[in-house]
Amino acid sequence: MQDRRLAEADRLRLIVVLLTAFFACLFYAATAVLVAGLAVKMLGYARTPAPLKIPTTPAPATRGGVVLRILREVTLFASLFGANKWIWLFGWIFHVALALVLLRHLRYFTQPVWGVVEIAQPFGVYAGFAMLAGLAGLWARRFLVERIRYISTYSDHLMLALLAAIAASGLAMKYLSHTDIVALKAFMLGLMAFDWQPLPAHPVLLVHLALVAALMAVFPASKLLHAPGVFFSPGLNQADDSRERRHVTRWAQG
């Protein structure tokens, strides 16, 4: 009897060790793919010349104006607001909620936890629901609006599914099936210090983490590239000063 219990405990311990090792490696790999992939992509963008001045109207006349413009685009989605209020509403809700949720999650990576992260905790929970709502709205449009149905690819649906599953599994841990977040935090801090700590073998948590790793890995090979892309878009990042300042790039010398 005693032996059986011991054996059981050993098996559990072994599972935890294996899980810990697996997820640690998974996250190292996913991070490596994310960072290296984004670096390659962004370097590629930066190295490619923009030979002609093609700012999108209405364009600011100065560099400072360009900074403001991009800020307005990435925080308020100003152009999208002018284009389509529904897409704006769902898209904006989703992104703001995502930002809050990410901020909230920083508590697993910082010790002591930063002040802003503390403040964001209560909002972060509601943001999880808002995120799901935004995703649902965006997804519904892919089915209901004929034009958007026409342009949607399988990967567009899959990306929404992935994000929704991440949000749902996260909320499930908050409301349905709690996990040991103290141990989780130890695991995360350990990951960053290359000093592995056991990962709680909680099924919902494992799903949640696996999906996040998948998202990180596909980031540089998917339309999520819109995130760095918005900063490199010549339409948005060029100033309307072609007559005042001669714009010359590598291959295009007058």
* Residue ranges in contact with other proteins by CB under 8 A: 41, 44-45, 48-54, 56-58, 61, 73, 77, 79-80, 82-84, 87, 91, 141, 145-148, 150-156, 158, 218, 221-223, 225-226, 229-230, 232-236, 240, 242-243, 245-248, 251-252, 254
Nearest distance from C-beta of residue 224 to other proteins, angstroms: 8
Nearer Cβ to other proteins, position 5 or 246?
A: 246
Burial class (CB within 10 angstroms; exposed 0-12, middle 13-18, buried 19+) of 39 = exposed
Q: Does residue 242 contact residue 58 with C-beta atoms inside 8 Å?
A: no
Nearer Cβ to other proteins, position 136 or 173?
A: 136
Q: Does residue 201 contact residue 14 with C-beta atoms inside 8 Å?
A: no
Nearer Cβ to other proteins, position 55 or 124?
A: 55
**φ, ψ of residue 184 in degrees (nearest 5):** -60, -45
- 172's CB contacts (< 8 A; 6+ apart) are 204
Nearest distance from C-beta of residue 71 to other proteins, angstroms: 13
d(CA 33, CA 147): 34
Nearest distance from C-beta of residue 87 to other proteins, angstroms: 5
Nearest distance from C-beta of residue 213 to other proteins, angstroms: 17
* CA distances, 70 to each of 89, 93, 142, 235, 246 (Å): 19, 19, 27, 10, 23
Nearer Cβ to other proteins, position 5 or 226?
A: 226
Nearer Cβ to other proteins, position 154 or 194?
A: 154
Nearest distance from C-beta of residue 41 to other proteins, angstroms: 7
Nearest distance from C-beta of residue 189 to other proteins, angstroms: 33
Per-residue tokens: 154: 């399988």
* CA distances, 215 to each of 35, 100, 122, 143, 194 (Å): 13, 18, 25, 23, 22
Nearer Cβ to other proteins, position 166 or 184?
A: 166
